[in-house]
Structure 1
Amino acid sequence: MSDSLEIPDELINLGAAAEAERLKLDGLDGEEWQSQLRAWRTAADAVQAAVTAHAQESALNRVDVEMAVKRAVRYPAP
């Protein structure tokens, strides 16, 4: 995959929001955990749908787009 793949800010923002929801699971249990899990899954589903749409519209490999989004979220540019 090329490191020069340009990812729209919208995808990075969606990815960051999903990651923030995932991090909120830490320390929860019971119904609170289940509720937060649903929130995370909803956010993750939105990311996957946006990644798929962007890849199709841009004629890019979906996995490459997903990995670029994850990389941008986990290792943001300074």
Structure 2
Amino acid sequence: MATIEFPDALIELERSAWAEIQQGTLTLNTARAVQEGIGAFAEQAGIPRYDVEMGLKRAVRHPAAEAA
């Protein structure tokens, strides 16, 4: 899959969600914001939502793999 250029705001939303997940404090509002952001970006970019979500998680949770 090609690398997707995510907007900074979407990266920050996923970083916040990932931090909350790791701390066991993920809120519905954070999860909803990420999902809405993913949906809006996928629609605007014409990329399948699944590809956007998986690419975003990979970029935030495994940045070394993205750089390789």
Instruction: With the length of structure 1 as denominator, give the TM-score of the two structures.
Output: 0.72
Identity %: 43
Superposed CA deviations along residues 51-70 of structure 1, whole A, max 9, x for unmatched, are 00001111111110001110
Q: Distance in 2 between matches of 1:63 and 1:73?
A: 16
The CA RMSD measured in Å over matched residues stands at 1.6
Higher relative contact order (CA 8 A, sep 6+): 1
Does residue 75 (structure 1) correspond to residue 65 (structure 2)? The answer is no
Superposed CA deviations along residues 2-47 of structure 1, whole A, max 9, x for unmatched, are 232221121111001011111222xxxxxxxxxx35x2x2211110
Structure of higher CA gyration radius: 1
Segments of structure 2 that go 5 or more residues without pairing to the other structure are: none
Instruction: With the length of structure 2 as denominator, give the TM-score of the two structures.
Output: 0.81
Give aligned pairs, total: 65
Among 28, 35, 47, the alignment partner of 1:60 is 47
Segments of structure 1 that go 5 or more residues without pairing to the other structure are: 26-35
Q: What is the identity, as a one-letter code, of the residue corresponding to 1:59?
A: G
State the 4+ residue runs in structure 1 displaced beyond 3 angstroms: none
